[in-house]
Every structure is written in structure tokens, then in C-alpha cells.
Structure 1
Amino acid sequence: MRLVFSIAVAGVSGALAWAGHAELLPLALILPAAWALAPCRLCAGAVAFVYHVAAARDVPQGAAIFFGTADVSGWFLVIGAGLLYALPFAALWSRNFTAWRGLLALLLVSLPPIGVFGWANPITAAGVLFPGAGWLGLAAVIALFAALTRWPLLALPLPLIVTLIQVEPPPAPAGWVAHDTSFLMASGQQDYLADAQRQQSIIEDVYRSDAKVVVLPETIVGRWSDASLFLWGELAQHARNKGQTILFGAELANGSGYTNSVLGLDVDGATPVYSQLMPVPVSMWKPWTDAGAIPQWFEVQTAIIDGQRTAFLICYEQLMAWPPLVVMLGDPDVLVGVSNDWWARGTSIPGIQRSALIAWSRLFGTKLIFAVNE
């Protein structure tokens, strides 16, 4: 009975906390309590596994669209990641409730290598519970996680607390505009005509914008090259004349691989302002070959945009813990999120990304802007 209860509570907390509403994120902190109440080591691993799978429940549907395969391949991905996530919780469980074991498990699922698949991290709730508190707020939620592993009954008020929370998304900087798009972009195919048509449509829309800064989604330009400026050159000159900054997502060739980057458009080409710390494993980051996306790992990157120190998070990074913490080491004024979620259309994934971005931005008191192709 205790096992069933622990697993059920963990599954419900994972599903509700990661439903795309920032107010619900504190429910993720039920995980350490459910883990501590597990009656055996294997049960403790099962609790963490079910929490992780419940949080990632829409990944199989999105993976099936992305890879053009049956949903079952996406379930293999989710189950494999869930087993990795569960491993530290199983190994560190003890019949005696000890906070240090919970903290060590949290650390192991937050940082690489396991943290590469460490979606749905409970510490994301810090921005909801302790807005504006920065690193102290992060420390407070980690301390709360530890306390819940020692005294699980402290989790009982969490559902009530959640009903009392109201979360307002941080404002965008004055004069900044996110230009969302809606294009289907088939994976693994290079359709130059379709790419050119998509880019021309975006260029025409941006040309009419009077915003000081225009933010476009992740990889919306595809692979950037010298030839790309043939399409974007007139817009670049137009933007320079207006004192306008245009930021867009594109892939930059780097040897036989590439970096998934955010670029600033310029009449002489495009300047990288951010390169993704953690591209999506398997589909983008392929450590068994040098032809995939190249991670930047723990490189702190900020850029001065419109006089404001600006940090970026690209798609997959928004779902984890360590990339937001790395970018916040740069003490930004603005957090920019860009995603290309054409494959996740109709799932909760875009909403989950938004809720996580809101939480991180609130925690560190930054302005926030988010552009998505969905």
C-alpha cells in the first residue's frame, strides 16, 4: 500500500507540476517526500522513474513526429532517460530519512552526465516560491528539498500553497518584440526552395516591424552561410538605418559539425551572440560522431543588446536545471528564450518551456522574451 501511494503521488506531482502552468511548479517538490516514503530501494527508484516519465509524457508523441517513426521509439527514449534519472534515487535511498542522500541525488540528476537527461528538475520551482531572491532563493529551495526528504509530511501544505500562488510573467524589455512563426520543418531534409520561401516570408514580416529589437525562433533560418546574406542583406541594411537589432536562430557550420546558435543580423553577415550549451541528445548532439551539434557545456555567454546584458536559452535547455544556472552566472538583465517546436505542436511541451522560463526569469529578476516556431 505504501509503495502504491508513493508511486501514485510521484506520478501525479510530475504530471501536474509539468503541465505548462508556472503556478503548479512547486508540486514538483512532492518528489523528495514521495521518495523518502518509499518502502525499499527498488521502490525508491520506481518513484523517481514514474515522476520523470509523467513529466515527459508528451515526448513520445513529439519524438514520433520529429523522427517520422512510431510513438514506440519515443517511449524508448523516455524510459531510458527515466531509468537514468531513477538510478541515483535508488542508489542513495535509505530506511533512515537523511537529507544529505536526497541532496546528493538531486545534484547527480541536475548536472551532466545524468543531468543531460535531467528534465523536470524540482529546483525550477524556486522562481515561483522565491521570486527575485536569486541565488539565495535557489539555496532556499534546495534546503526545502532536503527538508522534505527528512520530514516528508512537510509536503502536505504544498497543494494548498499552490492554489494561493499567482504568477505574472516578467515583462519584455521596452521596444522588444518576439516574432512567433508557424512553419513545419521536416527533420533530416534539405529543401532549399522551401527554406528560401520560409525565410522570405519572415523577412517581409520583419521589414514592417518598428520594434527596437526583433527576436525570431530557434533555427528558423536553417543553416547560415555566406549565401544567406543574399536573402537577408536588404533587411540588414534596412535594420541598420533604423537602428534596429534582429536576433534569429540558425545553425553555424563548425568543422564537420555545427553549433545551434542565436545570431545578430549585420550588413556584413551575422554575428553569433549565443551558442547552445546542450543540444538535444541523439537528434542533435551525437557523441558517437563529429557530425552533430557541438555543445558549449559550461561556457557563460552574454551579449549587450540595446544596452542591456542579455542571456539566452535555446529550446531543450529550458527543460533542465544546469543550463539556466550557467547563463545566470552572467548576471543578465534580459533572458531570451527561443524554440523551434514544430514537432511538439499539440503537446504540453511549449507550455512547459514557457513556465520554466518564467520561473527562472522571476527567480533572478530579469526581463523575459520568448520566440517560438510552433
Structure 2
Amino acid sequence: MSESDARIVVTVSVDLLAETDPAGKLVEALGDDPYACIIVLASPDVELEKFTVQLQAHLNAPHILGARTAGEICDEGYSEHRIVALGFPQSHFAASARIFEALDDPDEVAIGREVLALRHDAQAQRHDFKHEFAFLLVDGLSRREDAFVLNVSTALGSTQLFGGSSGDGLRFESAPVFYNGQVRNKAAIVLVVRSDCRFEVFREDHFESSEKRLVVTGAIPEKRLVTEINAEPAAPEYARIVGIDPNQLSPFIFASHPIVVSVGDQHHVRAIQRVEENGHLRFFASIDEGMVLTVAKARNISEHLQEVLDKLSADCEPDLIFACDCILRRLEAEQKQEVINMSAELRKHRVVGFSTYGEQHNMLHVNQTLTGIAIYPPDHE
């Protein structure tokens, strides 16, 4: 806690392997000061039902929200078996939040209305705070992120949004989110924050398109499944194009051989989650027949991270960088033995956050990116 005490946003990391009462340790570290909101990112090791009840009973905040992770980012850099928490004090922040359930059958008009109400509530709390952003947490196994973030962003108007899809390590079994003691699957949480602190929302990846093309000729969009690529069975054709034995396809291969879709002069990663038993490829984001994809070429991931974080700190050191970092980036860093270098950069720039099953940036659900917010002290306008 020593570093956090001098900062605006309070951050806490609890090692589950070292603590017999992690919830108690987290509550003690956050203290009794009033928070506008507290974001909690919990390893899959945590029994969320019991844990969230303890937090709700003892923390001084009207909005306590969080998610299960695919790994954590704390003061040590990349980590696992942790609980990471961010406390936004009422002296610099005002917040309004809501959980949205039944994402399989959403009422889009009602969602838009509720998001507008969140904005109005946050603004009413502190008219003198001029800066506003939105944070989104979505069940990373719901397969509803694309439609939901579009709906939310439309209602937010000019307010910038970033977020992450909850995870479950590499098990891909259950990725709930939680809000004020409620633990829910197939749900999302929208948080709107007002502040006197300047901020920058960002989205970055370290890829460039190559000449290796893949055309999706068979897909089941609602399940994010690709059945055919180039009129051939999907998994063997992908393996052929990237030069890998089909029997060796794994999350590590998908991380190091990503595919992207180009929209104008920009590209967006369409990351593969896994190979199904029938040879279909399941994706982390929306996919449809007729999409033209290319295999991406990767820059050095740690050098790119250094450039991104240095740029965010060029004019003023952020009080905090809160990051939603795709699990496939961590897997690539592990495979290429870049974890030590990545963690060093994350520590240097005070980055906290979690590894995700997908990321949200304004109106888009994306994959294999680093997405987040840099929050600066209020005296640097």
C-alpha cells in the first residue's frame, strides 16, 4: 500500500497463495475512506459468492463491481492467483453503475434509456467535474459483447468507453461478473465516471496485415464458429496457411498467428478461442461468411508495449494506467519469453488490470489488444 497512499486512485493486490482471509486483507488495505466506486478483478481461484458478500458488508462504496479474470496485472506486472482492486475516491470521482442481465434477449431501447440515466446521475452528483468516461465489463463467454457495446456506445454519445470481457483462466467454463453482491453469468456492468482528473482512453495492438488471405466460406455467426475457410475445413486450412501441423493447434499458436479484418485503413483482430472436436474454429468476436481475413505479422510485443506506455507518459506521468489486456497477448509473451520484459514495463508505468477474453473500445468489441485508460492528476489540464 505504500505507493498507493500518495496516489489518487488507490490500488491493492492480494496474493491468494499467501493470505488465509483475502477478502479481509482487501478490505483492510482499501480502508474506510469513501469511494465513488471500487473495481475488483478476481482470479478464478476465488469463490465469488462468499467473497462478494464480504466486500459488500465492509467496503465504503455505493458501487462495487468486478469480474473473474484470465490473469491479473498488479504492482509486480503479469501475475496469477491474485485479487486486484482499484478504489476511486469521492474527492476526485463520481460514479453511477448498473448490471444488465439476459444479454441473449436484450431490450435495446431499455438499455439505451438506462445508460442515459447513468450519465445523468453521474453528472448530477458533481456538476463541477468536467471529464467523463464509461467502463464496461461483460461476461466473456456470453458471445454478446459485439451487440451490447454497440448499443451502449450509441447511448453514450461522445463519452469515451473502454472495457474488458471477463475470463476464466484457460478453462473457458464460467466467466461471471459481479455488482454489489450479485454474481451473474451472461451479464454486463456499465459504469459511468465523472472526474476532475484528465484521462486518455486508448487501444493498441502490435500487428500489421500480411499477404496471407483467408476467406470465410462457412460460418455460424450466432455461435462465433467458422466451419470453412477458402472452401476447406476451417481448422486444417488455417493450420496450412500458417504452416503448422493441425494437431498442434493451441491457444499459443492462435496467439502467435492472429488473423485480422481490415476496415478502411484500420485493422481489427479476430482472435481464435479454440478448435472444436469437429474441426470448426470458435472465435472470441463476431465472424460471418464472406469476411476476408489476413494473417497478421507481429512486431516485438514488449518493445511495442514500451512505446505505448512511454507515449502515454510523455507529457505527464499518469496517476494510474488501468488496462484490459487480452489473454492471447500474455500467451504470446510467454511463448516468446517476453513476460519478464512486459512485466518490467507494466511495473514502471504503474499499470494495473487484468487479462481478458476480449476488449471493448467505444463502439467496438476487439481481440488481442491492450485497451484501457490513463488517468492524470487534475492539476495538469
Instruction: Give the TM-score normalised by the residue count of structure 2.
Output: 0.29
Instruction: Give the TM-score normalised by the residue count of structure 1.
Output: 0.30
Higher helix share: 1
Q: Tell which structure's C-alpha radius of gyration is larger.
A: 1
Higher strand share: 2
